[in-house]
């Protein structure tokens, strides 16, 4: 599988290690930078490129790495069609794939050991989306919102009323 990688200075060393691990496991890492350590670089140019590349190759996945992974996840999720999850355990990586059909995993290099992150990534790459109707419905709502900016309808049980009048 092709795996698109992007990071910032805080994630650079881990990104480099993940590229080696991916190659050893038979995957094809594609590095979108940074290519050298630069203590004052910014993550958006690299993470946005990695996320964009995932969309051009639907069978691929992406991994974005920073100090906490938060900014990198936010950046990746700005790309319409990307569903990036912040993995902080094997379970969150797995659920991101099972329930959200996530195509990008974000991780914080300062939050986890290299071995932990490899475990998250291994699960992320080997888990398939369940295709259960409830999960497909939820993803469809998000996709529709991305494209139209129309909010999904509230379920009848979620509408607040006072004295019969809807608020």
How would CATH label the architecture of 2-149?
A: 3-Layer(aba) Sandwich (3.40)
CA 24 to chain centre: 22
* Residue among 9, 32, 72, 112 flagged as catalytic: 72
The reported pLDDT for the residue numbered 159 is: 76
Give the Cα separation of 4 and 19 in Å (integer): 9
Give the Cα separation of 34 and 88 in Å (integer): 23
Do residues 3 and 29 touch, judged by C-beta distance below 8 A?
A: yes
Across 133-157, average pLDDT: 96
pTM: 0.93
Across 114-143, average pLDDT: 98
The reported pLDDT for the residue numbered 139 is: 97
* Residue among 94, 99, 116, 135 flagged as catalytic: 99
Across 81-91, average pLDDT: 98
- Domain layout of the chain by residue ranges: 2-149
Instruction: For 2, list phi and psi in degrees, rounded to 5.
Output: -80, 135
72 classed as catalytic: yes
Q: What residues have CB less than 8 Å from 80, skipping those under 6 apart?
A: 146, 147
């Amino acid at each position: 599988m092709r795996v698109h990688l992007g990071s910032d200075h805080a994630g650079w060393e881990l990104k480099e290690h993940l590229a080696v691990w991916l190659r050893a496991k038979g995957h094809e890492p594609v590095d979108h930078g940074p290519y050298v350590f630069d203590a004052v670089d910014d993550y958006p140019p690299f993470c946005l490129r990695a996320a964009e590349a995932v969309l051009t190759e639907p069978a691929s996945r992406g991994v974005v790495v920073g100090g906490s992974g938060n900014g990198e996840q936010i950046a990746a999720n700005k790309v319409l069609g990307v569903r990036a999850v912040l993995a902080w355990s094997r379970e969150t990586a797995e659920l991101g794939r099972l329930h959200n059909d996530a195509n990008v995993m974000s991780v914080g290099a300062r939050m986890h050991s290299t071995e932990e992150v490899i475990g998250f990534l291994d699960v992320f790459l080997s888990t398939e989306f369940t295709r259960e109707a409830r999960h497909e419905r939820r993803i469809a709502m998000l996709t529709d919102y991305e494209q139209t900016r129309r909010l999904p309808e509230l379920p009848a049980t979620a509408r607040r009323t006072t004295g019969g009048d809807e608020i």
